[in-house]
C-alpha cells in the first residue's frame, strides 16, 4: 500500500478547502492550489473559521488548531504537485476540465503518486483515460461540508489497482471518514445514484404544480433525524450541482429517469441556484430559508384521487419521492454495484436519512413497494416507477421484508 505523507488539493472552494482542512487536521502536510490568490485567501479564511468553530466547541484543542494551520500551504502553481504522494482534485463537475487537469498532473507527478478525484458522478475510467497511469487514479467522493459529513465513497475505474483502492480508503479513514466501496465504475456512485431519481421527482412535482417546495419538504423530511427535505437539500447543494449530477448519470446511462425536468434548467438560466445565489426553491436572501411565490402557476392546487386530507396528501407526496430511490437501490443490488448494507450506509451518512432505502423497503413490505410503484407507473408512464426484475422475483418468492422474515436482510 502506498504511504501517504504529503497531500496536494486542487481547488480551494467549498469541497477543496474542506478536504484540505481535514487532511491537515489529520497530520498530513497539505498544499492547497487554485487559480488565483483571492480564491486561496477565501479558502484559507473558511478553513480558519471552521477550525475556530471546532475549537470553541471543544472538538479540537488549540494545539491541534495551530498544528493544522502550520501544516497548510497554498500555491497557484500546479507544478508544486510534483512533491505530493496523493493529489485530490476538487474542481467543477465538467469532464473536459477534469481530463485536462489530470493530463497535466500526469506529466507533473512522479509515477507513484495517487491521483484522486472528488467527482460526485463522472466516470472514474473517463477521467483516468487522460493519464498514462489509470491504475493510480481513484474516486474519493466526499460529502459537504467535508468537516461535518462522515461519508466518503471510494470508487475504482476499470483499471484502478487494488493497492490504489486500499490506499485511498485508508487515507479517507485516517481523516475520520466512514467509507463505502463502489464495486463498479457506476455513474453517480451510490448515494447520489440512488437519491437523484427522488430529487428529480420532487422538482417535477413543483414544475407540474402538484405541490409547493414547502409542502414537499414537509412531507418528505424525517424530523430531527433528517430535518431537511429534498427541496432544501437541492438549494443547499446548488441547483446547478444537482442538475449536473443528474445529467452526468443520464449521459452515461441514457436512462430517461435521470433526465432533469426543464424547471431546473430554467432556474439555472435565472441564476436561481439556491442558497449560494440567494434564491432557489426558497428565498435565502435573509440568510434563512423563506418560502416565496415560486414562478409556477397553480402550485398546490392539484390533488390525487383519495387525497381528502393533509395526511393522505403528505403520504402521496412521500411515495412519489421515496419510491424512485428505493427502486434505484434495488437496481444497484440487481446489477452487483453495491451490497445492500453499503447502499443503506451511503444514504444514511450522505443524506442524513434515518434509515437506508433498502431498510425502508423491508419495513414497508416489498409487495407494498411493488404495488405502490406499479400504480404510479400505470398512471404516469414515468420510468422512475418501473419495477426492476429483482423486486418482482423477490415478491414472487415470498421475500417480502420484515413481515416475512427475509428481504434484503434477515429478520
Q: How far apart are CA 308 and CA 314, in angstroms?
A: 11
Provide mean pLDDT across the span 159-172: 97
Overall size of the chain counted in residues: 411
For residues 312 and 294, the model is more confident at 312
Q: How far apart are CA 330 and CA 212, in angstroms?
A: 29
DSSP 261: P
Decide: 91 and 242 in contact? Cβ < 8 Å: no
How sure is the predictor about 220, in pLDDT bands with cuts at 50, 70 and 90?
confident
Which grid cell is 99? 481530463
pLDDT of res. 296: 52
- Give the burial string for 182-210 (b: 16+ CB within 10 Å, else e): bbebbbbbbbbbbbbbbbbbbbbbbbeeb
**Each residue of 374-402: pLDDT tens digit?**
999 999 999 999 999 999 999 999 999 99
pLDDT of res. 300: 39
**Each residue of 250-303: pLDDT tens digit?**
998 999 999 999 999 999 999 999 999 999 999 999 989 999 986 654 443 444
pLDDT of res. 303: 43
Smallest CA-to-CA distance from 261 within 301, 304, 230 is with: 230
Q: What is the CATH number of domain 191-404?
A: 1.10.1040.50
Decide: 115 and 133 in contact? Cβ < 8 Å: yes
Round the average pLDDT of the chain to a whole number and report it: 92
Decide: 22 and 146 in contact? Cβ < 8 Å: yes
Give me the residue label for grid cell 443547499.
Answer: 236
Q: Is domain 6-182 in CATH 3.20.20.60, yes or no?
A: no
Decide: 354 and 222 in contact? Cβ < 8 Å: yes
How sure is the predictor about 309, in pLDDT bands with cuts at 50, 70 and 90?
low
Decide: 210 and 149 in contact? Cβ < 8 Å: no
Give me the residue label for grid cell 492550489.
Answer: 33
For the annotated catalytic residues, the residue numbers are 120, 141, 153, 192
pLDDT of res. 306: 47
Domain coordinates in residue numbering, the chain: 6-182, 191-404
Which grid cell is 78? 500546479
Provide mean pLDDT across the span 308-333: 88
Q: How far apart are CA 4 and CA 149, in angstroms?
A: 22
Decide: 78 and 10 in contact? Cβ < 8 Å: yes
In the chain, % of residues over pLDDT 70:
94
Angle between helices 14-25 and 37-56 (to 10 degrees): 50
DSSP 289: -
For residues 178 and 311, the model is more confident at 178
Decide: 255 and 386 in contact? Cβ < 8 Å: no
Domains 6-182 and 191-404 share a fold: no
Q: How far apart are CA 389 and CA 395, in angstroms?
A: 10
Decide: 89 and 16 in contact? Cβ < 8 Å: no
Whether residue 145 is predicted with pLDDT greater than 60 in this model: the reply is yes
Q: How far apart are CA 343 and CA 180, in angstroms?
A: 8
**Each residue of 77-112: pLDDT tens digit?**
999 999 999 999 999 888 999 999 999 999 999 999
Whether residue 334 is predicted with pLDDT greater than 80 in this model: the reply is yes
How sure is the predictor about 313, in pLDDT bands with cuts at 50, 70 and 90?
confident
Q: How far apart are CA 276 and CA 287, in angstroms?
A: 10
Amino acid at each position: 500500500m502506498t504511504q501517504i505523507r504529503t497531500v496536494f488539493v486542487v481547488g480551494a472552494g467549498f469541497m477543496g478547502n474542506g478536504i484540505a482542512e481535514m487532511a491537515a487536521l489529520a497530520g498530513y502536510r497539505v498544499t492547497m492550489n487554485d487559480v488565483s490568490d483571492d480564491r486561496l485567501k477565501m479558502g484559507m479564511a473558511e478553513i480558519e473559521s471552521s477550525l475556530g468553530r471546532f475549537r470553541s466547541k471543544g472538538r479540537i484543542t488549540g494545539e491541534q488548531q495551530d498544528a493544522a494551520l502550520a501544516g497548510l500551504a497554498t500555491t497557484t502553481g500546479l507544478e508544486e504537485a510534483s512533491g505530493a504522494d496523493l493529489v485530490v482534485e476538487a474542481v467543477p463537475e465538467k469532464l473536459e476540465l477534469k481530463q485536462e487537469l489530470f493530463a497535466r498532473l500526469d506529466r507533473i507527478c512522479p509515477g507513484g503518486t495517487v491521483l484522486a478525484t472528488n467527482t460526485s458522478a463522472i466516470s472514474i475510467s473517463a477521467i483516468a483515460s487522460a493519464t498514462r497511469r489509470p491504475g493510480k487514479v481513484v474516486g474519493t467522493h466526499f460529502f459537504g461540508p467535508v468537516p461535518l459529513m462522515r461519508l466518503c465513497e471510494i470508487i475504482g475505474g476499470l483499471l484502478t489497482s487494488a493497492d490504489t483502492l486500499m490506499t485511498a480508503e485508508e487515507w479517507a479513514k485516517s481523516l475520520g471518514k466512514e467509507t463505502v466501496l463502489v464495486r463498479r465504475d457506476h455513474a453517480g456512485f451510490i448515494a447520489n445514484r440512488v437519491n437523484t431519481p427522488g430529487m428529480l421527482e420532487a422538482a417535477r412535482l413543483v414544475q407540474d404544480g402538484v405541490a409547493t417546495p414547502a409542502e414537499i419538504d414537509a412531507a418528505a423530511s424525517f424530523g430531527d433525524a433528517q430535518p431537511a427535505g429534498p427541496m432544501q437539500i437541492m438549494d443547499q447543494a446548488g441547483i446547478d450541482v444537482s442538475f449536473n449530477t443528474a445529467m452526468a448519470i443520464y449521459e452515461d446511462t441514457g436512462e430517461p429517469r435521470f433526465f432533469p425536468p426543464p424547471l431546473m434548467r430554467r432556474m439555472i438560466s435565472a441564476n436561481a441556484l439556491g442558497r449560494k445565489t440567494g434564491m432557489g426553491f426558497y428565498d435565502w436572501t435573509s440568510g434563512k430559508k423563506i418560502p416565496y411565490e415560486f414562478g409556477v402557476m397553480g402550485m398546490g392546487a392539484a390533488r390525487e384521487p383519495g387525497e381528502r386530507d393533509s395526511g393522505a396528501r403528505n403520504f402521496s407526496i412521500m411515495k412519489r419521492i421515496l419510491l424512485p430511490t428505493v427502486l434505484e437501490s434495488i437496481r444497484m443490488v440487481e446489477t452487483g454495484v453495491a451490497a445492500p448494507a453499503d447502499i443503506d450506509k451511503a444514504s444514511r451518512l450522505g443524506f442524513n436519512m434515518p434509515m437506508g432505502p433498502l431498510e425502508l423497503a423491508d419495513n414497508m413490505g416489498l409487495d407494498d413497494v411493488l404495488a405502490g410503484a406499479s400504480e404510479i407507473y400505470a398512471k404516469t408512464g414515468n420510468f422512475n416507477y418501473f419495477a426492476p426484475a429483482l423486486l418482482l422475483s423477490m415478491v414472487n418468492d415470498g421475500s417480502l421484508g420484515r413481515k416475512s422474515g427475509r428481504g434484503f436482510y434477515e429478520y
